[in-house]
Structure formats: C-alpha cells, structure tokens
Amino acid sequence: MDFLYHIIIMIGIYTILALAANIPVGLANLLSLAQAAFYGIGAYLSAFVLLNFNIPLLPGLFVVAITTGFFSLLISLASIRLKGDYFILAALGFQLIVFSVLYNWTDVTKGPYGISGIPPPRLFAFIELTANFQFAILSVSLAALTSFLFYYLVKSPFGRVLKSIRSDELSVSISGRNVYQFKIIAFFLSAGFSASAGFLFAGYVKYIDPTSFTLDESIFILSALFIGGLGNVKGCIVGAAVIVILPELLRFAGLPDNIAANLRQIIYGLALILVMLYFPKGLAGDTMLK
C-alpha cells in the first residue's frame, strides 16, 4: 500500500511542477529551463523552515512560496526582454548557477552531502504528517488547489493577456499593455507554485541534495508538460502520471539499477518523440488555450 501512496504523492508533486511550468511556457510562450532551480530553492527553503522554525504547514508553505517568487526576479528582471533562443540560454544559465550554489555552498546547503533529518510538516500545532497516506492526501489536496488556481488564472483577465502575448506580443504591446510586467508576474507565480512542490518533496523524503534539482529535472518537468499538453489542467495531470509511472514499471522488469536508469532516459526520449509525432498538442490536447 505504501508503494501506491508513493506513486500518488509523486504524481501530485509533478502535477504541481507541470502546472507551474505551464504559466510561462504554456501561456506566455517562454520556454524555461529553470523550473528545477525554483523547485530546488523551494525545497531548501522548506528544509530551513522545517528545521529551524516551529510553524504549521500553511504559514510555512506561504513563506517558502513567496520567498522563492522573489528569487525568480533574479532571472526575470535580467532576461525577460530576451526572446527565443537567448531567453532559453539565460534560463539555462540560471539553472546551472542555482545548482552550483546548492552543490558548493556547503556551510548552508551541506553541498553534495545534502540535508537530512528534515521533520515532517504539521497541519496544525499538534498534527504531524508522518504517515504516507497523510502525505498522499496532502499531495492530492495541494495539486487540486494548484489546479483550481491555474484554471482561474487562465480564465482571468491576466491569463487572457498572457495568452495574447503568446499569440502576438507586438499587438499586446501596441495596445498599451506592459508586456514585460506580465511576464515578470508569470515567472513569480511559476516560482511560487514550484516552491510548494519543493516544500511537499522535502517534507516527504526528509532528505534533499542538489542532484534532485539538476537540468535533467527541468527537462523531466517540461516533458510532463509537453506529453500532457500545454495550457490545460488535464494535460498536466496526465503528463505527471506518465513520467512518474513509466520508470516505476521498470521495477517489475528485474533489471539492474544501472541499466534501468539509462533505460529510463531512453523511454522518456521515445515517449516525447512519439507524442510529438502522433499527438502534437499532447495526450490531453490544448483545449484551454482557445
């Protein structure tokens, strides 16, 4: 049963991460390779909060999300005016910088040794979330809340402006809208959502290290987004389920760990190629961008 709870928890985490990436990528057409950086910042801030402050789940989650959102300004203010490949390279640079800081700033992050003994979050002053089924409920609840917020965002005037930027940025700029301000807010929200996934991950695993937040992780997050479909909630859920369940199926194949790890990369690549060929809008389509 714990294995099933683990699958549910990870699908919830990657659903949140895919929804977070969907804001800049699916709505504003900003391909960001820095999503794992925001995920990692949120996880490390969560470890700091859980280890040093005796505060409940919701206040801690709010503090981590807002603080990570402000970290997003480091990339958005510096590179949001860049377009196309130049923006992708700027986001890639931010991702590499964050990983390097997490790996080498040993006095704060413990470097490659990671941070262990992270206490579980507390729902209230006296309820600790220690059991897997409790984390499964929390993961599903946070994913559902994030899905609702994303759905509301898409339907809101702010979301409609982002979709207009995606279609024709020049026309939006001519109409008097501050395109760069909208993009900065989009990255702020994306970072905050990613941080909530980091909070859940740190509290569940109770150990984090920089290898969980590499460029490969950013690619996995984008894979979930593109496999499921841009711009809609259902696509993020479907994509998250695919990238979580596929590697778990390898457990039943009886392969050595080193072969299974390499095979996972091949499966992800093959899945992306097949989806792009036969489902160019993703397995769940592109319904909410209309």
Delimit the domains of the chain by residue range.
Answer: 2-212
pLDDT at 102: 93
pLDDT at 290: 46
Q: Which helix (H) or strand (E) holds 115?
A: strand 115-116
pTM of the model: 0.91
pLDDT at 124: 67
Per-residue confidence of the chain (290 residues) as pLDDT tens digits?
778 888 999 999 999 999 999 998 888 888 889 999 999 999 999 999 888 887 788 888 999 999 999 988 888 887 877 777 888 898 899 999 999 999 999 888 888 999 998 888 877 666 666 677 888 888 999 999 999 999 998 888 888 888 888 877 778 888 778 888 888 999 999 999 999 999 999 988 889 999 999 998 998 899 888 888 888 888 899 989 988 887 777 666 666 666 766 776 777 778 778 877 888 777 876 554 44
CB neighbour burial string for 40-64, b if at least 16 within 10 angstroms, e if fewer:
bbbbbbbbbbbeeeebebeebbebb
> What number of other Cβ atoms are within 10 A of residue 259's Cβ?
11
* CB proximity list for 84: less than 8 A, separation 6 or greater: none
Residue among 96, 85, 73, 77 at smallest CA distance from 30: 85
Angstrom distance (rounded) from CA 202 to CA 75: 24
Query: DSSP H helical segments within the chain, as ranges?
Result: 2-22, 35-52, 57-79, 85-104, 106-109, 132-155, 157-167, 169-174, 179-205, 215-228, 233-249, 257-278
